[in-house]
Amino acid sequence: MKNRKVIVAAAALLLTGTPVTGAAQQSAATAPQKIKVDIDTRQTARPVSPYEYGMFIEHIGSLVYRSLWSEMLDDRKFYFPIKAEEPQAAAPAQGGPFRGMQLRKWHPIGPDQAVAMDKDHPFTDEQSPRIELDAARPHGIRQSGFTLVKGKRYIGHIWLRATPGVTIKVALVWGEGTSDRQTVALSALTSTYKELPFTFTAGADTEAGALEISGTGTGSFHIGTVSLMPADNLDGFRPEVIAQLKQLHSGFWRLPGGNFISDFNWYHSVGPRDQRPPDFDYAWNAMQTNDVGMDEFMTFCKRIGVEPYITVNAGFGDAHSAAEEVEYMNGATSTHMGAMRARNGHPEPYHVRFWNIGNEPYGQWQLGRTDLKYYLLKHNEFARAMRAADPSITLLASGSMPEEAILEGVAADRHIPVDQAGICSDADWTCGFLKHDWGNFDGVTEHWYTRAGVRWDRERAEKGIKVGSLEAGYVPDQETVLEWVRRPSDRVHLKGEEWLEYEKRYPEMKAKGIFMSNDEYAYTGGQTNLKLALAYAMVFNEMLRETDFLRMTAFTMGISTLDFNQTAATLNTNGLLFKLYGEHLGAGSVPVALTGNSPQPAPTQHMFEDLPRTSSGSPTYPLDMVAAISADHKFLTLAVVNATDSEQKFDLTVDGAHLRGSATLWRMTGNNLEAANKVGQMPQVEVKESKIAEAPTILSVAPISVEIYRFPVSPTAR
């Protein structure tokens, strides 16, 4: 995922490399008095891939640990020193740059000087806390700020060594009173680290729960690591989150990936969790405990029923470590790394099919970045080594089409004139692979992020003018709801236009089955509500029109489909939409031709070169539609997005099949565009199923809705 603080101002280019000029607003469009839609089931595209609705996640700050993982304690391996409360301004630097992801800290019980970070014989990594004891009052450490549920059972363990005869107490605290806690005494300690389990049951609900570890007496004790989880965790994962994510039919998760991967040491992420050293992630300025590592990710994928897709470190990493990672994941126990995996409790190979070399290597925000010329050499070295470890894997190269390179500043960084940054120019990383690296990749990745509510102004950019907190050149955009909702699907359509240009230059792409993976994408800056869901529905429709080459997509982030807190999770409007499309336009559905009499208006020039030359969407303005036939040709599915505030009607004609019997309608809508689904509240957006007695030829679409129709069909005579 790109760090948006480093986006550099850039101008536009068309696929030919010519700058674009034009009005900032969408040209006016008027729908005909009667919208006519024709579906031809005889004209088909490639079936929808099992990987159409995939997900992406990376270790941004404590994101993975707050969303997926059940661990309740932060910094449980004591990467940071333990001292009295720090100034508030210091917290974000240790907890990551994202609001709400600051780490909870350990603080001394007793005087500061009683707690020292001992670097002699630490349990893991470089230091472990040593607590000097006092016979008169308890000394120890405390962490607070997590949620407890009354009557819920919590389990944990701690590694301790101590002066013989010392008794240590571990307490779960849910209030200020002396009785608002449960305490477990741990004795029989020695000078050697020993793992000791504990169990608690919370006596009250609180959002200010705490864990205290303290002792009294003579001498000292050392803490190696400590862990606290709800007892109902599933292999360490949050059961309420697992239950929700299983509904999404994601197909695959790309993990770990993103900027994080460029200095990720995968060796530190396997083996006994308590003994994995914590690392500092310099991409996101955060400490990572390495508790959720490669084996845990495989368990997670199995839990939610998806395939893993792994990105290897091609920033600070090397081909040898990447090949050993492939061998660890896929190798037989007779191999060196496969034997290590077995020793770690996982004798069976994971058989990971999809592997991505590097993450956004074109971006100056990536650690270890090189120019394209040298990165292509690196990619080839990685590909050869990884395939030597497992020849069966599918390798994806980390590409970047011209519009991505310009918008993210690669051309500016390399001083390439923007009017020379077209298809297969020096700024075109995707074309670099097509020119020079044949045989060393099976697919090419593309990432896109579209920002809501702003557009690019070239004149302001050249003058370095900022508007408020926006980067130079970005200005607030005045849009209609339809324009706002349409914007991200324009980006998908542009990717398709560029891909077709590559296929013209390199016809062997089709013969070799080279495919595209949009394995990061998001519409940023908006609220997670019905309005955003309408935009993503149009994105889905556009992706379903590109199945001939777009085989994989991964939404940023996978957990952005949920609204969650520390104890509960529910599908938000994004998640509800993924569930709807995954269930009714999922793997095996065959997109069919859909035409109409109401073309979409010309694209809006929001930012330079984030728009296609032709309109995205179906020719059914103001509606957007996509249709597919089931693999057995027994059902026709039609998805319709209506982002207007009024009911819309259209005449439907179907060629190549006969509509018969009753149909089914699934309608996703709410009372207004701001309707959202939140944990602990009644859902404001729902999907309701209804029956249609006879397949109609005139259909009515509710305002601000996504509707999916399923018609039983029989083929007509050819």
Rounded to an integer, the average pLDDT of 52-76 is 95
pLDDT interval class at 602 (50, 70, 90): confident
User: How confident is residue 472, by pLDDT bands cut at 50, 70 and 90?
Assistant: low
Task: Kindly state the percentage of the chain with pLDDT values over 70.
Answer: 87
Least confident of 141-155, 462-476, 604-618, 623-637: 604-618
Q: What local confidence, expressed as pLDDT, does residue 417 receive?
A: 56
pLDDT at 608 exceeding the cut of 50: no
Inform me whether the pLDDT recorded for 62 exceeds 60.
yes
**Mean pLDDT, rounded, for 241-263:** 94
CATH code that applies to domain 73-230? 2.60.120.260
Placement of tokens 């970005």 in the chain: 474
Confidence (pTM)? 0.91
CATH class of 4-18+46-66+235-584: alpha beta
Reported as a single tens digit per residue, the pLDDT across 312-346 is 999 999 999 999 999 999 999 999 999 999 999 99
Q: How much is the pLDDT for 465? A: 67
Give residue 477's pLDDT. Answer: 81
177: amino acid identity, one letter: G
Query: For residue 542, what pLDDT is reported?
Result: 97
> How confident is the model at residue 614, as a pLDDT?
78
Q: Are 599 and 615 spatial neighbours (Cβ–Cβ below 8 Å)? A: yes
Residue 718 pLDDT: 52
Residue 141 has a pLDDT of 97
What whole-number distance in Å separates Cα of residue 113 and Cα of residue 82? 10
Summarize the confidence of residues 16-44 as an average pLDDT: 66
Query: Do the Cβ atoms of 252 and 309 come closer than 8 Å?
Result: yes
HSE value, Cβ hemisphere, 13 Å, CA-based, for 112: 6
The pLDDT of residue 412 is above 80: no
pLDDT tens-digit series, residues 131-153? 999 988 999 999 999 999 999 99
pLDDT greater at residue 293 or residue 91: 293
Question: Which of 639, 654, 647, 645 is CA-nearest to residue 707?
Answer: 639
Q: Which structure tokens are listed for 204?
A: 């009250």
Q: Is the pLDDT of residue 471 over 90?
A: no
* Least-confidence region, from 328-337, 518-527, 694-703: 694-703
Q: What's the pLDDT score for residue 3? A: 35
Q: Is 323 helix (H, G, I), strand (E, B) or coil?
A: helix
The mean of the pLDDT values for the chain is 88
Residue 90's pLDDT band (boundaries 50, 70, 90)?
very low
Q: Per-residue pLDDT averaged across 57-78, rounded?
A: 94
154-189 pLDDT, tens digit each: 999 999 999 988 889 999 999 999 999 999 999 889
- 557 preceded by a cis bond (ω within 30 of 0): yes
pLDDT in tens, 628-638: 999 999 999 99
Whether the ω angle into residue 308 lies within 30 degrees of 0, i.e. cis, is no
Picking from 312, 319, 315, 445, the residue whose alpha carbon sits closest to that of residue 382 is 319
Q: Which helix (H) or strand (E) holds 254?
A: strand 252-254
| Cα gap 222→558, rounded to integer Å | 38
Q: Phi and psi at residue 323, in whole multiples of 5°?
A: -65, -40
Q: What is the pLDDT of residue 453?
A: 85
Residue 696 per-residue DSSP state: -
Considering only CA atoms, which of 381, 255, 394, 253 is closest in space to residue 317? Answer: 381
Domain spans of the chain, in order of start: 4-18+46-66+235-584, 73-230
* 21 pLDDT above the threshold of 90: no
Average pLDDT of span 504-512: 94
CA atoms within 13 Å, Cβ hemisphere of 313: 20
Which has more confidence, 495 or 611?
495
Strand-pair category, 685-692 with 54-56: unpaired
Residue 694: the pLDDT is 79
Q: How far, in Å, CA of 649 to CA of 644, rounded?
A: 12
Q: Which pLDDT value is given to residue 16?
A: 37
Average pLDDT rounded to a whole number, residues 110-122: 93
Report the greatest alpha carbon distance in the chain.
Answer: 94
| Predicted pLDDT at 408 | 55
Nearest CA to 431 out of 334, 498, 526 is that of 498
